[in-house]
Structure 1
Amino acid sequence: MTVTDSAPATAPVPPLAARTTAIGGSAVREILAVTARPEVINFAGGLPAPELFDVEGIAAAFRDVLAEEPQRALQYSTTEGEPRLRAALAERTSVRGLVTAADDLLVTIGSQQALSLLATALLEPGDTVLVESPCYLAALQAFAFAGARVVAVPGDDDGIDPDALDALVIRERPKLLYTVPTFQNPTGRTLTGERRAAVARVAARRGLWIVEDDPYGELRFEGERVPWIASHDGAGDRTVLLGSFSKVMAPGLRLGWLRAPAALRRACAVAKQAADLHTPTVNQLAAARYLADRDLDAHVARVAGVYRERRDAMLAGIGDALPAGSTWTRPEGGMFLWARLPDSYDTAALLPRVVEQDVAYVPGAPFYAGEPDPATLRLCFVTQTPEEIGEGLRRLGRGLRG
């Protein structure tokens, strides 16, 4: 009898990797699927306002690139990224206070890919990662897929507490700290300049990588720009700065970048070669052409002006929508407002009742690495007009009151 003869007619296929079943999907994307009906006023998404995209400018950039250098635009590219785009990004970064050369940068498919590359390059299963509390949800997913142990750093309205960070680094011996210090997702808060300097000192004194994610920093409505952590003394050789065009140009381009010390950047490039070889050439060249021909800063200023009006509309109506005793943030920029209801409320349990009123939010619990706070929720204020925001908040109030 042969092995083939004794085998069952149809054997089961091997199972999926354990990490694919142990780690859940994005709570935000699951809610968006449920609330896709056009009548729903959706505060759940983290999408920039599509009517504000510079469609004409981006289309012109693609047309010019394909007309003038089609063979290059449609060909493979280097893993590190197109030289013209890297040079333009380096100049923008340098102008904003962090001297940068083109060779300091790796172009990625959105800054989300940068997180995955860093997890591959830095983390072994069981390594500890420190994060904010609450934290950007997709970062928690990326670190979990790498098999990391994720620990939250205590903080307050000014961001993570440097003294608590110092104590956790001593106790937990983490590989890295991940932070969105400016207009954070999900809270909208901004880490103060004093605390940024203190975080840099902790990293230098204790031996720690800092991953500084900055997708929202250019969307400032008021107040003064706070320098990057990467620009502080002692942080230069251990801070990775992530950037993205998703919130300031268009997310469909899927263009991000990381600025990192040479050895880590090379490791990320090797990881990217294994993942996708390179970021799409035509998108990179079109973005470089857009930066050369258009005024991105002026476009971002127009977008931020509209977003400020929408934030103000949400702030004007949220007090009437939420139960007495609720608190909420007042972001100086970005896309998100974070609210906390009284202790007796569970925003996940309340969401179906709220959706019946044709409005949606994201419950706060999935954003926590540690013990979640069920009374919290995130509201995105950029994708609706002020009038729609006002109506959405009235619906939210009816849903929460039941």
Structure 2
Amino acid sequence: MPFTTPFADRLNNVETSAIRELFKLLGKPGIISFAGGFPDSNMFDVDGIREAVNAALTDNPGATLQYGATEGHPPLREQLAQFMASKGARGVAANDLIVTTGSQQALDLLGKTLISPGDKVIVEGPTFLATIQCFRLYGAELITVPVDGEGAQTDRLEALIAEHKPKFVYLIPTFGNPSGALTSLARRQAILQMAVKHDTLIVEDDPYGDLYFGDAPPPSLLALADSVPGARERLVHCGSLSKVLSPGLRVGWMVAPAELLAKATMCKQFSDAHTSTFAQATAEQYLKAGRMPGTLARVRQVYAERARAMCQALRRELGDAIEFVEPQGGLFVWARLTGAGGKVSDGAVFAKKAIEQGVAFVPGAPFYATQPEHATLRLSFATAPIDKIEEGIARLGRAL
């Protein structure tokens, strides 16, 4: 007899991830994938992580293998506060943050603690697909602010805040997923000022900020917040070690006002009790050992070379049939098909033709909460070596 118990109504608001569905098509032998949003496993500092594991099991094996505080492993919280201070957020203390099971859990905790059905939330267009799904699961009405090469368009953002009075605004200011956009310093300051002016909570998601290719990006909203009186009390900052150390550790964190942090901690108790103490102790020992700067330097160099190779190949193989802004960091090239010369102009159609040629990417429409742009697509350069990037883009040229 088939399963007949009715599911929760909230599941009517979400669909299976288009990216996860695409991955089911990637079993074809010889396929080159630009679809994933993850770092290159060949770049993991395995020796450094092994040393961190050994140190954690040597220094305090009982605590490393035991249950821990929901807020997070205290020594790791101290290390994360120092890590953020090294990037300009010097006012953050260990008690100002909780450790989450990846920054994805931080988004879920925000949904649980802040969103009631029908609440309005402003997100970028495009934005992280899992954010759209997560906030919709809790019943949010999502409103889109457009993004250009300098990030969220702040004039439009302020108008939307004034009109809709959202529960909060969710932004990825530094090398956004999927846009790769880098919000300018002027816009960051404007965002903090409007947070105070309109008494609006801003959520800054920052998993990619350390992956810059040239000059360092402008300081995070968190680092800038103390320069705008009242902004810190209206800011949530989500960070992660997944893109820079190892996604398998599932270590992220959230900095938030004290009352919100307490509610999020309570909800986390219901979810997983605490993030893996073993993973937290490993991350703590790794940060304490001082290996992160060297790891980041290597990763930045490799990703910069791959991003440059992908952009050059796109110009060479697809010409005026595609347009994009060359990324200054992160993991992605965000592009738009122009349809020039009668070529394909729909990202989903192009994705199917590309699979037939043995190359995969993610069409852009699912990254929009409203008014999807069907000509867009996301290409990840992180996991493919340069020869595979050049071959894969050549296949894209043949798929047009």
In structure 1, what is the equivalent of residue 348 of structure 2? 348
Distance 1:352 1:85, change over 3 A: same
- Comparing 330-339 with 25-34, which one deviates more in the overlay? 25-34
Counting only pairs closer than 5 Å after superposition, residues 151-166 of structure 1 correspond to structure 2 as 151-166=143-158
In structure 2, what is the equivalent of residue 201 of structure 1? 193
Counting only pairs closer than 5 Å after superposition, residues 143-158 of structure 1 correspond to structure 2 as 143-158=135-150
Counting only pairs closer than 5 Å after superposition, residues 87-166 of structure 1 correspond to structure 2 as 87-98=78-89, 99-166=91-158
Q: Secondary structure at the match of 1:384?
A: coil
Shift of 1:294: 3.8
Which ranges of structure 1 fall in alignment gaps of 5 or more residues? 1-9
Shift of 1:56: 1.3
Counting only pairs closer than 5 Å after superposition, residues 298-313 of structure 1 correspond to structure 2 as 298-313=294-309
Distance 1:132 1:33, change over 3 A: same
Q: Secondary structure at the match of 2:320?
A: coil
Match of 1:175 among 167, 174, 194: 167
Q: Secondary structure at the match of 2:353?
A: helix
Shift of 1:38: 4.9
1:57·1:294 contact (CA, 8 Å) conserved in 2?
no
Q: Deviations over 1:344-399 (max 9, x none)?
A: 61111222221011101100000001111111000001101111100000011111
Shift of 1:95: 2.1
Does residue 58 of structure 1 match 2:49? yes
Q: Secondary structure at the match of 2:335?
A: strand
Shift of 1:21: 4.2
Does residue 363 of structure 1 match 2:376? no
In structure 2, what is the equivalent of residue 40 of structure 1? 31
Shift of 1:223: 2.6
In structure 2, what is the equivalent of residue 373 of structure 1? 373
Amino acid at match of 1:252: G
Shift of 1:138: 0.7
Does residue 314 of structure 1 match 2:310? yes
Amino acid at match of 1:152: T
Work out the CA distance in 1 between the residues paired with 2:309 and 2:2: 59
User: What is the aligned residue count?
Assistant: 391
In structure 1, what is the equivalent of residue 399 of structure 2? 399
Counting only pairs closer than 5 Å after superposition, residues 214-233 of structure 1 correspond to structure 2 as 214-230=206-222, 231-232=224-225, 233=228
Work out the CA distance in 2 between the residues paired with 1:317 and 1:61: 39
Shift of 1:70: 2.4
Amino acid at match of 1:74: L
Q: Secondary structure at the match of 1:61?
A: helix
Work out the CA distance in 1 between the residues paired with 2:2 and 2:188: 57
Shift of 1:12: 5.9
Work out the CA distance in 1 between the residues paired with 2:3 and 2:44: 48
Work out the CA distance in 1 between the residues paired with 2:28 and 2:137: 32
Q: Secondary structure at the match of 2:121?
A: strand
1:353·1:399 contact (CA, 8 Å) conserved in 2?
yes
Work out the CA distance in 2 between the residues paired with 1:19 and 1:319: 44
Q: Larger radius of gyration, structure 1 or 2?
A: 1
Work out the CA distance in 1 between the residues paired with 2:295 and 2:289: 12
- Comparing 60-69 with 240-249, which one deviates more in the overlay? 60-69
TM-score, scaled to structure 2: 0.95
Distance 1:19 1:312, change over 3 A: same
Shift of 1:187: 1.1
Amino acid at match of 1:179: L
Distance 1:362 1:76, change over 3 A: same
Root-mean-square deviation (CA, aligned residues, Å) is 1.5
Work out the CA distance in 2 between the residues paired with 1:227 and 1:294: 22
Q: Deviations over 1:49-108 (max 9, x none)?
A: 111101111122112322443221111100000010000000111221112100001000
Work out the CA distance in 1 between the residues paired with 2:11 and 2:121: 20
In structure 1, what is the equivalent of residue 247 of structure 2? 251
TM-score, scaled to structure 1: 0.94
- Comparing 126-135 with 66-75, which one deviates more in the overlay? 66-75
1:323·1:341 contact (CA, 8 Å) conserved in 2?
no
Does residue 268 of structure 1 match 2:259? no
Work out the CA distance in 2 between the residues paired with 1:353 and 1:51: 29
Shift of 1:154: 2.3
Q: Secondary structure at the match of 2:81?
A: helix
In structure 2, what is the equivalent of residue 333 of structure 1? 329
Shift of 1:330: 0.9
Amino acid at match of 2:93: A
Shift of 1:137: 0.6
- Comparing 149-158 with 180-189, which one deviates more in the overlay? 149-158
In structure 2, what is the equivalent of residue 281 of structure 1? 277
Distance 1:11 1:318, change over 3 A: closer
Q: Secondary structure at the match of 1:154?
A: strand
Work out the CA distance in 1 between the residues paired with 2:260 and 2:70: 14
Percent identity (aligned): 44
1:176·1:209 contact (CA, 8 Å) conserved in 2?
yes
Shift of 1:18: 2.5
Amino acid at match of 2:324: W
Q: Secondary structure at the match of 1:217?
A: coil
Work out the CA distance in 2 between the residues paired with 1:391 and 1:11: 47
Which ranges of structure 2 fall in alignment gaps of 5 or more residues? none
Shift of 1:188: 0.7
Amino acid at match of 1:305: Q
Match of 2:288 among 285, 288, 292: 292
In structure 2, what is the equivalent of residue 383 of structure 1? 383
